[in-house]
Amino acid sequence: MKKFVVLFALLLPLGVVANEVVSLEGLTEPEWKDFAPSAYADVEEPKGLGKLNETVSYWFQRRQDFESSIEECRAIEDNEAKLSCYQEVKVKQYAKNSEYNAKIEAQERAGLGPSEMFDKTNNMLPIGNYLNNFTRFQPNEIR
């Protein structure tokens, strides 16, 4: 039993090192869900009046660009070049996320919401103002 414990104690670190080497060689592709908000992880092409929704169109276009970049990386046969290609895709996607977040923050600071909030053809309803106006004129309101 002692020999088994000693052998196990010696082989355990070797197994961990072997797993790390394999994970470096096994290329993992970036996934779209890592870069997109959860609401747009499975975004599909907008149809009908949905084409007017700029946010859905933006995330659909980004997904198309992402998938084409991944296809280009898959075509590369050299593992090191493929790994660097995947890294470039990740860097570009993170940069685009930063730009998008900065744009949204700028709109919020300017007092504007996303453009869909002002689009009458969209199914989003800004009901907050309607509710505020409705409750303002209640005749039996206790103040």
| CA–CA dist 82, 25 (Å, integer) | 11
**Tokens 């009901």 appear where?**
127
Residue 45: both structure tokens together:
């092409």
What proportion of the chain, given as a percentage, has pLDDT over 90?
35
Structurally, how many domains does the chain consist of? 1
Q: Is the pLDDT of residue 117 over 90?
A: no
Q: Distance from CA of residue 69 to its chain's centroid? A: 16
Within a domain: 143: no
Within a domain: 5: no
Domain interval for residue 131: 28-136
pLDDT tens track for 31-48: 999 999 888 888 888 888
Write the DSSP string, 29-68. ---GGGTS-GGGTT-----GGGGG-HHHHHHHHHHHHHHH
pLDDT tens track for 46-83: 888 877 888 889 999 999 999 999 999 999 999 999 99
Mean pLDDT, range 122-138, rounded to an integer: 52
Pick from 90, 114, 88, 112: nearest CA to 100 = 114
Give 113's contacts (C-beta < 8 A, 6+ positions apart).
107
Residue 102: both structure tokens together:
């900065």
Within a domain: 1: no
Backbone torsions φ then ψ of 49, nearest 5 degrees: -70, -15
Within a domain: 57: yes
